[in-house]
Chains A and B, each alone.
Chain A
Amino acid sequence: MGPDLRLLRVRCACGWETTGSERDVLAAAEEHGLRVHNMRATRDEIMATAVPVRREQA
């Protein structure tokens, strides 16, 4: 079975990570970046680091 493209994982260099739908990982990563790192990450910057994951890996 190939990767489920609807499920993405985004990591931060600090070790934090989130897994979910595109909308969910974008929201979580934007919130983490701003709250913890004072960083306004754009959608493109976040999606450039997103990787698809299999559901069983989520």
Chain B
Amino acid sequence: MQPGIDVAGPVQAEIFVVWLNGERVELTGPCGAAPWIIELESAEHPVASVERIVRDVIGPASLVHSTSWRRDRDAVILSFIVVIGAELRGAMTSAPVERLALARSGATSAPTSVEYGQVLEHGLRHLAWLARDDAAVAAELSPAWRTVLAGYVPEPFRNLG
């Protein structure tokens, strides 16, 4: 199959759009239940870029937060967790988020491989940390979200590779 057009900039954002389907976290987005890649430019703050594009394509997000970074796709990848309300899911494909073990770095080296599900697992652990540590984030998360995140081990921002 022809590979197709693809994002190729030196700094890219990998967006994980998540929403709460009852008591279950699901991954969605315009590219399906998968990471959504966008190009970042030096003229705009990465958080502003992600917030703007999510708003244009999906609608206003409840939370936009960068949770990790790594080297991949011949670029620096900033990973974002974007929380949306259930009403914004619309016709976008969605799938439950599975729990995974994290990709661990060596003492002075990056992990040998990082799967996107591991980045998402870390992102949700980071969100669990913010839910306890950051008043602005906690205020945006519903009681149902805080209950779900209580099942994740809180972790701060990390370099994943």
Contacts and interface: CB of A to CB of B under 8 A. Distances in A.
Given A11-B2, A11-B4, A35 B57 contact: yes
A39 B39 contact: yes
Given A14-B37, A38-B49, A33 B5 contact: yes
Interface centre among B3, B4, B34, B38 (most CB of A within 10 A): B4
Main secondary structure of the interface of A (DSSP, over half): mixed
Interface residues on A, range: 20 to 34
Contact of A38 (B5, B32, B39): B39
B15 to A, nearest CB: 10
Contact of B56 (A35, A39, A49, A51): A35
A49 B32 contact: no
B57 A49 contact: no
B57 A38 contact: no
A58 interface: no
